[in-house]
Amino acid sequence: DILVAQSPSSLSASVGDTVTITCRSSQGIGNFLAWFQQKPGKAPRPLIFSASTLLSGVPLNFSGSGYGTDFTLTIRSLQPEDFATYYCQQYRRYPLTFGGGTRVDLK
Amino acid sequence: QVQLVESGGGVVQPGTSLRLSCVASGFMFSSYGLHWVRQAPGKGLEWVAGISSDGGEKNYRDSVKGRFTISRDNSKNTVYLQMSTLSPEDTAMYYCARDRVAILVGALDYCGQGALITVSS
């Protein structure tokens, strides 16, 4: 299985900050990487696919980058509704695998 | 708008069976692959199984192979997850999710609200 490691596991930030979450895969996956947002008690919300393509309706303060084994999710000008847990997921090979999650909470 | 609505969750005893359903609306159901993703209480996301648009391709994670079966009925806009020999380790919220395309690429673009399964004696 392709392992996906996320860091940090949690971070504290303020409204208006820029935060960066890193995802590293155990082998090269090209750009077959997605990002999800999940709020407590809610379903995960897909945000990004192909490492950097925003899904419809995703605010433009979200961006993704990376290729191969190293990827980042950047959230600029953090908004109150952005405090959540974020997961990356590789889909280069089955089984699909997720990172362990990064919780972004209010400083 | 795209909607995925899961049902069939509940509390079951170890070793028993259960079937989850996911009814879809707001899109051409027969044109998209579908997946089940689960999340144990307080844990991260875990992919379980996927099925292509025509049902011809199916994939499972190793821990459920031989116990879980994914299927779909395109005439009813419904995808199913038949689960047998359930164990406490299967306790989780189960989410239905849509693939962006007909084949099982694995890029998901919508998730349902989930169905909770608790396996306990």
For the ranges A92-96, B69-73, B102-106, which has the lowest average pLDDT? B102-106
Chain A contacts to B (CB-CB under 8 A): 32, 34, 36, 38, 42-46, 49-50, 55, 87, 89, 91, 94-101
Distance of CA B90 to the CA centre of its chain: 13
pLDDT in tens, B26-52: 999 999 999 999 999 999 999 999 999
Residue A74 identity: T
pLDDT in tens, A11-39: 999 999 999 999 999 999 999 999 999 99
Query: What pLDDT is stored for residue B102 in this prediction?
Result: 86
Q: Which residues of B touch A94 (CB under 8 A)?
A: 50, 59, 104, 106
Whether the CB of B114 is below 8 Å from some CB of chain A: the reply is: yes
